[in-house]
């Protein structure tokens, strides 16, 4: 969900490496290509996210973090969604 809001913002930085942290091990492993995305609707979102990263010209480093350490990201995502 957050990728929809954050990737357009990353465009301003461009070029280089983008570190993306998330508390969903499933999503992180899918984005890294370690696990398959089996649901068709999620396959479309996965492909779109990967395409946006390529369009930005950045390499992505995906990191799984414990949910308890990710409360700031949860708060920012909530603000973005409800704004």
76 or 10, higher pLDDT: 76
Rg (CA), the chain: 13
Q: Work out the burial of residue 25: count CB atoms within 10 Å of its CB; fewer than 13 is exposed, 13-18 middle, 19 or more buried.
A: middle
pLDDT of the residue at 55: 83
With vertex at residue 23, the alpha carbon angle to CA 18 and CA 61, rounded to the nearest 5 degrees, is: 20
Please state, for a pLDDT cut of 70, what percent of the chain lies above it.
82
Cα 51 to Cα 75: distance, rounded to the nearest angstrom: 26
């Amino acid at each position: 969900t957050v990728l929809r809001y954050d990737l357009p913002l990353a465009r301003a930085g461009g070029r280089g490496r983008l570190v993306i942290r998330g508390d969903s091990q499933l999503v992180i492993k899918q984005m890294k290509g370690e696990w398959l995305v089996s649901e068709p609707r999620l396959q479309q979102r996965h492909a779109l996210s990967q395409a946006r990263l390529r369009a930005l010209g950045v390499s992505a480093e995906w990191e799984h973090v414990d949910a308890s350490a990710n409360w700031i990201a949860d708060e920012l995502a909530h603000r973005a969604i409800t704004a």
